Amino acid sequence: MTKFSDTPFDLIIIGAGPIGLATAIEAQKAGLNYIVLEKGVLVNSLYNFPEQMTFFSTSNLLEIGEVPFISHTDKPTRKEALEYYRRVQESWKLNIKLYTAVTGMHPKDGGYEVVTNKGNAFAKAVTICTGFYDTPRSLGIPGEELAKVKHFYDSPHPYVGQKVLVVGAANSACDVALETYYKGAEVTMAIREREIYPKTKYWIKPNIENRIKEGAIKAYFNTTVKEVREEDVILNTPNGTETIANDFVLAMIGYMPNYALFEKLGLPIDNDPFKTPIFNSETLESSLPNVYVAGVINAGLQTSKLFIENTRNHGKIIVQDVKRKL
Residues 263 and 246 in one domain: no
Nearest CA to 220 out of 245, 197, 238 is that of 238
- The type of residue at 92 is W
For residue 247, tell me if it sits in a domain: yes
Bridge-based pairing state of the strands 34-37 and 96-97 = parallel
Sign of CA dihedral 8, 28, 95, 2: negative
Q: Which residues contact 203 (CB under 8 A, 6 or more apart)?
A: none
Residue 141 domain flag: no
**CATH number of 294's domain:** 3.50.50.60
The confidence score (pLDDT) of residue 2 equals: 45
Region for residue 5 given its phi and psi (left: phi exceeds 0; alpha: psi -120 to 50; beta: otherwise): beta
| Per-residue pLDDT at 49 | 85
Question: Does some domain include residue 20?
Answer: yes
Last residue of a domain, which of 195, 216, 251? 251
Shared-domain flag, residues 30 and 121 = yes
Q: Say yes or no: 210 and 227 in one domain.
A: yes
Please list the pLDDT of the chain residue by residue as tens digits (326 residues): 445 666 899 999 999 999 999 999 999 999 999 999 999 999 999 998 888 888 888 999 999 999 999 998 888 999 999 999 999 999 999 999 999 999 999 999 999 999 999 999 999 999 999 998 888 999 999 999 999 999 999 899 999 999 999 999 999 999 999 999 999 999 999 999 999 999 898 889 999 999 999 999 999 999 999 999 999 999 999 999 999 999 999 999 999 999 999 999 999 999 989 999 999 999 999 999 999 999 999 999 998 899 999 999 999 999 999 999 98
pTM over 0.85: yes
Rounded to whole angstroms, the Cα distance separating 94 from 33 reads 11
Residues with Cβ < 8 Å from 310, sequence gap 6 or more?
none
Confirm whether 30 is domain-assigned: yes
Q: Check: CB of residue 218 under 8 Å from CB of residue 242.
A: no
Same domain membership, residue 265 and residue 234: no
Among 251, 285, 305, the domain boundary falls at: 251
* Domain extent for 173: 149-251
199 shares its domain with 304: no
Looking at the structure, tell me whether residues 24 and 125 fall in a common domain. yes
Residue 4 placed within a domain: no
pLDDT at res. 48: 85
Domain annotation covers residue 204: yes
Helix (H, G, I), strand (E, B) or coil at 68: coil
Residues 262 and 126 in one domain: yes
Total count of domains within the chain: 2
Half-sphere exposure (CA, 13 Å, Cβ side) for 158?
Answer: 13
Pairing of strands 111-116, 119-128: antiparallel
The answer to whether residue 227 sits within a structural domain is: yes
Nearest CA among 229, 233, 218 for reference residue 186: 218
Residue where a domain terminates, one of 251, 280, 308: 251
Same-domain status, 271 and 246: no
User: Looking at the structure, do residues 247 and 262 belong to the same domain, yes or no?
Assistant: no
- Answer yes or no: are the C-beta atoms of 290 and 12 closer than 8 Å: no
- Assess whether 260 and 129 both reside in one domain: yes
Residues 101 and 242 in one domain: no
Q: Are residues 231 and 186 in the same domain?
A: yes
Domain contains 144? no
202's CB contacts (< 8 A; 6+ apart) are none
